Amino acid sequence: MVHADGSVSQTWNFLKQHGLQGFIEIWPRPTATAWKIIFVYGVFEAALQLFVPGKRIEGPISPTGNQPAYKANGMAAYFVTLVTYISLWWFGIFNPTVVYDHLGEIFSALIFGSLVFCIFLYIKGHVAPSSTDSGSSGNLIIDFYWGMELYPRIGKNFDIKVFTNCRFGMMSWAVLAVTYCIKQYEVNGKVSDSMLVNTTLMLVYVTKFFWWEAGYWNTMDIAHDRAGFYICWGCLVWVPSVYTSPGMYLVNHPVNLGTQLALYILVAGILCIYINYDCDRQRQEFRRTNGKCIVWGKAPSKIEATYTTTSGETKTSLLLTSGWWSLSRHFHYVPEILAAFFWTVPALFNHLLPYFYVVFLTILLFDRAKRDDDRCRSKYGKYWKLYCSKVPYKIIPGIH
């Protein structure tokens, strides 16, 4: 993005000319400034997570029968973060361009620091697990990669996955989107319409995320994936760097789309974010009301699926088979991928790298759909088979 214009061929030429050594030489190293920025941001977000008031919310019952409780203060923390960050810039106290100018060093520090953090999680899982939802698979690499604990906490209240996934990772997405916009403004004296569309769509997406954060605590990331390298390193490193990368590209590649095209892209992106939100909302409302809700104007159609927990108890879950959930088993991934495409397309098609996130996300979600189906098949057995016969497509209705 910075040294080779987001161009694969330029990067290749650079490598041919300078070899791996040249690449290592331009690779940014962590600096004191980078550590300071990460530390202040991390402590600020941890303090908001702990001290901003919020309603007590209970998460889903875990495989060993625990029910974690959370403080739902995400939207307030998000609001405080953005207002504080923009005010620091507005009143000349801290210029976000400092973050952009040290971004390589910050990402480098995050890569290394998060690895150390994942080692800490691995050791904690062995010596001081927070609940019975933990344990070793007997293989060190699997334990490190997939994690030891489902709900690790520091003390009783500080939930580590809420911090890594939501308050550090997702929050950094919004903070960096604003940073890129401000950097372009400070360099060019104005913000291009392509940057405005990109920033607005990413902010709408992250705002939706925090609006629905308590719902996120019911999804695979929190309720099924343990806290290991896969999810925690991903949220601490991959989200701030790769997820925000279309905006980073636009900083020094301003594109003028024209008002009409910019508006079309903006509306299409917002529509996709809304549909993605509505899919999640529909499923959660259905589960919350035990099926006693209205889905697309009618009483929902459903399957009552029984399953046995690891402690031998028999329980029942409802599977929704109408509304968005009748189109395919993971239809919500379609608008998720399209939304990412719409906040990238303002970069137009000069270079491939801005599209890296969309390509990565598509692979991630197709893999996730398979993992989720496998898990549900082994959890629900014949009921999942029945569900698949009613809703035969995995992601793209009529195709896949």
Binding site for ligand NDP (CB under 6 A): 219-221, 276, 280, 283, 287, 317, 319-320, 325, 332-333, 336, 361, 364, 368, 372, 376, 379
CB of 372 to ligand NDP, least distance (A): 5
- What is the phi-psi region of residue 334: left when phi exceeds 0, alpha when psi lies from -120 to 50, beta otherwise? alpha
Nearer Cβ to ligand NDP (85/333): 333
CB of 243 to ligand NDP, least distance (A): 7
Closest CA relative to residue 163, chosen from 104, 103, 213, 230: 213
Nearer Cβ to ligand NDP (5/373): 373
Instruction: Point out the residue whose Cβ comes nearest to ligand NDP.
Output: 219
C-alpha to C-alpha distance for 393 and 379, rounded to whole angstroms: 19
C-alpha to C-alpha distance for 317 and 326, rounded to whole angstroms: 17
CB of 158 to ligand NDP, least distance (A): 23
Closest CA relative to residue 243, chosen from 107, 85, 151: 107
Tell me the H-state helices in 252-381.
259-288, 333-344, 356-380
Both tokens of residue 259? 């008002």
Nearer Cβ to ligand NDP (178/319): 319
Instruction: Give the long-range contacts of residues 304-311, CB within 8 A, separation 24 or more.
Output: 304/383, 305/380, 305/383, 305/384, 305/387, 306/380, 306/383, 307/379, 307/380, 307/381, 307/383, 309/63, 309/64, 309/65, 310/63, 310/64, 311/64, 311/65
CB of 218 to ligand NDP, least distance (A): 7
Nearer Cβ to ligand NDP (139/310): 310
Nearer Cβ to ligand NDP (180/331): 331
Nearer Cβ to ligand NDP (255/365): 365
CB of 156 to ligand NDP, least distance (A): 25
CB of 332 to ligand NDP, least distance (A): 5
